[in-house]
């Protein structure tokens, strides 16, 4: 997709690339960053508490699944996510509060939405 960057200091609406050249139509070359979806955001929150995937719970693969779902589907499947966290906590022998898990999941979803909003899709 080409971005019209013909105006001086024009900004691509998708990636934020700023053109310093006048009269040019350039292909958007700035790659879209790897966005941190809801699973990635939840992993970051749990890591803050010292909880990381140690290979026993499949949390990394579940986080990737949440990222693939995106924020909207993750909120629809919140009970599935809560159940996965409950099982992971049980395997590790740590206490689990479903309400706290739902709050963390909700915050992860909102953080993912904010990050995704920074990079709108290409205009048609």
Q: Alpha-carbon distance 27 to 1, whole Å?
A: 7
Could you report the per-residue pLDDT of 42-95, keeping only the tens digit for each?
999 999 988 887 776 788 899 999 999 999 999 999 999 999 999 999 988 999
Could you report the per-residue pLDDT of 90-118, keeping only the tens digit for each?
988 999 999 999 999 999 999 999 988 88
Q: Which residues contact 97 (CB under 8 A, 6 or more apart)?
A: none
Whole-number Cα distances in Å, 79 to 31, 55, 99, 106, 117:
34, 22, 11, 12, 25
Query: What is the reported pLDDT for 13?
Result: 59
Mean pLDDT over 6-20 rounds to 57
Query: What is the reported pLDDT for 80?
Result: 97
Q: Alpha-carbon distance 124 to 55, whole Å?
A: 43
Contact present, 71 and 113 (Cβ < 8 Å): yes
Pick 5 or 85 by higher pLDDT: 85
Sign of the torsion angle spanned by Cα atoms 41, 46, 47, 53:
negative
Residue 27, pLDDT > 80, answer no
The phi, psi pair for 11, rounded to 5°, reads: -115, 130
Other CB atoms within a 10 A radius of the CB of residue 106 amount to 14
Query: What is the reported pLDDT for 1?
Result: 44
Mean pLDDT over 1-24 rounds to 53
Mean pLDDT over 28-45 rounds to 79
Whole-number Cα distances in Å, 17 to 21, 30, 54, 114:
12, 6, 39, 19
Structure token pair of residue 40 = 């990635």
């Amino acid at each position: 997709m080409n971005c019209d960057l013909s105006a001086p200091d024009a900004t691509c609406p998708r990636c934020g690339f700023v053109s310093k050249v006048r009269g040019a139509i350039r292909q958007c070359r700035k790659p879209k960053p790897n966005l941190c979806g809801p699973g990635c955001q939840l992993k970051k929150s749990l890591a803050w508490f010292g909880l990381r995937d140690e290979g026993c719970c499949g949390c990394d693969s579940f986080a990737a699944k949440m990222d693939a779902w995106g924020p909207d589907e993750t909120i629809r499947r919140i009970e599935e996510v809560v159940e996965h966290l409950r099982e992971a906590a049980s395997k590790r022998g740590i206490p689990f509060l479903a309400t706290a898990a739902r709050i963390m999941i909700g915050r992860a979803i909102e953080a993912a939405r904010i990050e995704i909003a920074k990079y709108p899709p290409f205009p048609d």
